[in-house]
């Protein structure tokens, strides 16, 4: 073949390749599949007063042993918009007294579509299936699952809103759902009480989970704060975010900027789900925290 013919052939091949549509990488690449996903959300403290401050030694120990996002930012102030972002990929509202049922795409819808089970374990929720307003140390703004149409308008799904006391029972009986949303009360999430109280609560209730055969096999736990106390960077300020998993890189610290929509994406990706609500669809994946 003459040089001129080869050049034309290569050019034609290059044109064909260039014109082929670009295919996105498969969702979840680099995120290992988990059998059980857990998310615990704490309240209203800046990164600097949580990490390496001596205020939360148990959480610090998990951050040192597993994965820590050093540039993780909440989306807004006050609390409720961040909880909605974690569940819908949208802020929805900045009114902590908001009581309207929300019909947008959400984590429960995605879980159900994939045949996955879920529960929201909330401390001091008055009863199974309760969707009403605040009672005692229970704050609905911290349990926005109760405002999702897929839950509030479905008598079967409402029964997945349960008291936190059920968590230890489900762990002991091997009946934990695929996805667990864990909601400490207003004291134990550090909203009304010191960080040391929240840390002690984590040690009491989360350490047994991490030691269980269920978690050691294929668990994934995210502990995050909802928003900072005094910082408005990126909407809600810099906060602590820690991931724990037997498949996580050990002692890993990320400097990538993440927000709550990435956590929503991660918790679904880990369960093999590839369609994500709201901003989670375009959010940076958090695969860097896991072994290849």
Q: What is the DSSP string of 104-162?
A: S--HHHHHHHTT--EEEEETT-SSTT--SS-BTTB-GGG-GGGGBHHHHT-HHHHTTEE
Q: What's residue 28's pLDDT?
A: 43
> What does pLDDT average to over the chain?
92
Q: What's residue 29's pLDDT?
A: 61
d(CA 7, CA 189) in angstroms, rounded, equals 67
pTM metric for this prediction: 0.90
Beta bridge partners of 68: 242, 253
Q: Which two tokens stand for residue 131?
A: 């969707």
245 three-class SS: coil
Q: What's residue 59's pLDDT?
A: 98
pLDDT digits over 132-152, tens only? 999 999 999 999 999 999 999
Handedness of CA 232, 289, 174, 201 (dihedral sign): negative
pLDDT digits over 175-219, tens only? 999 999 999 999 999 999 999 999 999 999 999 999 999 999 999
Phi, psi of 291 (to 5 degrees): -65, 145
Domain at 36-289: CATH code:
3.40.720.10
Decide if pLDDT at 26 tops 80: no
Decide if pLDDT at 95 tops 50: yes
Asked if 69 and 287 touch (Cβ cutoff 8 Å), the reply is: no
- Work out the average pLDDT over 118-136: 98
């Amino acid at each position: 073949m003459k040089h001129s013919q080869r050049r034309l052939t290569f050019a034609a091949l290059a044109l064909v390749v260039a014109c082929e549509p670009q295919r996105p990488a498969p969702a979840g690449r680099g995120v290992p599949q988990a059998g059980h996903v857990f998310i615990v959300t704490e309240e209203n403290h800046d990164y600097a007063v949580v990490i390496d401050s001596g205020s939360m030694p148990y959480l610090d120990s998990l951050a040192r042993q597993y994965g820590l996002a050093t540039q993780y930012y909440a989306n807004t102030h006050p609390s409720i918009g961040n909880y909605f972002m974690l569940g819908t990929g949208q802020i929805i509202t900045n009114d902590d007294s908001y009581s309207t049922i929300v019909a947008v795409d959400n984590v429960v819808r995605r879980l159900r579509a994939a045949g996955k089970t879920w529960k929201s374990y909330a401390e001091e929720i008055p009863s199974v299936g309760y969707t009403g307003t605040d009672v005692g140390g229970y704050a609905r703004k911290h349990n926005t699952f109760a405002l999702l149409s897929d839950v509030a308008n479905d008598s079967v799904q409402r029964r997945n809103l349960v008291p936190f006391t059920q968590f230890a029972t489900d762990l002991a009986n091997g009946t934990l759902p695929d996805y667990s949303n864990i909601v400490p009360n207003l004291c134990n999430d550090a909203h009304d009480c010191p960080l040391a109280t929240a840390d002690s609560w984590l040690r009491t209730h989360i350490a047994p989970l991490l030691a269980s055969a269920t978690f050691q096999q294929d668990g994934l736990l995210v502990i995050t704060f909802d928003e900072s106390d005094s910082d408005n960077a990126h909407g809600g300020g810099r906060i602590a975010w820690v991931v724990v998993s037997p498949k996580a890189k050990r002692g890993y610290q990320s400097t990538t900027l993440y927000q709550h929509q990435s956590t929503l994406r991660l918790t679904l990706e880990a369960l093999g789900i590839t369609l994500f609500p709201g901003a989670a669809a375009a959010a940076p994946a958090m695969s860097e925290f896991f072994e290849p």
